[in-house]
């Protein structure tokens, strides 16, 4: 794993420390390092979340990828804490946080010439990326089901929490910028 890229990922995503399992934390970090290397990304922190902003919309679609991932992960951590403390829901925190951290990893590949954004929606390509990183089927399911564009519904509480956190982060961003909710997530 490239030490420079590994350091960049660890610095950009301090929420990695919320994953208690060392092996899982390393796999999530390695997945990002591999993806960044494969697409030749020069700066992880400057990478946009979306290739094609919707005409007329400014900031929400031009948002950087890293802040979005961090927002989703922070929302997930808050929901886990609340559900565990208040009603004792059994949630696998490590899988949920890992899933939140990699839910949009395949967004990096939308910026090359593979046609992924038009031909294969990013959640579907995430399966390939995450399988190659050795991440579990449960984490792959979280990435696949985090958005309606995959047409795959969450079937675990962990996947549902990441989907809800992703929507909350997107709606919050749109609301802060335009006073309206996200219409095309």
Domain annotation covers residue 71? yes
Distance CA 121, CA 150 (A): 7
Give CA separation, 77 vs 30, 66, 114, 184, in Å. Answer: 22, 16, 34, 25
Residue 56: give its domain's CATH number: 1.10.3210
Asked if residue 184 belongs to a domain, the reply is no
Domains of the chain: total? 1
Residue 183 lies in a domain: no
Structural domain of 29: 3-178
Backbone angles phi, psi at 171, to 5 degrees: -65, -40
Per-residue pLDDT of the chain (185 residues; tens, 9 = 90+): 578 889 999 999 999 999 999 999 999 999 999 999 888 877 776 655 565 554 445 554 457 889 999 999 999 999 999 998 888 888 999 999 999 999 999 888 877 666 666 677 778 888 989 999 999 999 999 999 998 877 889 999 999 999 999 999 988 877 777 777 766 54
Q: Is residue 185 part of a domain?
A: no
Residue 74 lies in a domain: yes
Please give the pLDDT value at position 25.
98
Taking the whole predicted model, whether its pTM rises above 0.85 is answered as yes
Considering the domain boundaries, does residue 161 fall inside one? yes
Give the pLDDT score at 105: 93
Residue 98 covered by a domain: yes
- Give the pLDDT of residue 41: 74
Query: For residue 69, is it within any domain?
Result: yes
């Amino acid at each position: 794993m490239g030490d420079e890229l590994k350091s960049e990922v660890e610095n950009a995503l301090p929420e990695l420390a919320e994953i208690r399992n060392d092996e899982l934390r390393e796999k999530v970090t390695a997945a990002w390092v591999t993806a960044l290397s494969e697409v030749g990304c020069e700066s992880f922190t400057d990478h946009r979340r979306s290739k094609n902003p919707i005409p007329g919309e400014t900031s929400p679609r031009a948002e950087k990828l890293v802040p979005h991932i961090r927002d989703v992960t922070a929302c997930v951590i808050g929901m886990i804490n609340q559900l565990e403390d208040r009603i004792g829901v059994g949630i696998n925190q490590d899988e949920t946080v890992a899933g939140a951290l990699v839910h949009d990893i395949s967004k990096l590949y939308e910026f090359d010439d593979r046609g992924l954004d038009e031909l294969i929606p990013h959640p579907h390509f995430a399966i390939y990326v995450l399988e190659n990183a050795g991440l579990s089927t449960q984490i792959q399911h979280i990435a696949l089901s985090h958005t309606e564009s995959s047409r795959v519904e969450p079937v675990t509480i962990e996947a549902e929490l990441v989907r809800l956190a992703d929507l909350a982060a997107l709606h919050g961003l749109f609301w802060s910028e335009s006073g309206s909710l996200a219409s095309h997530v």
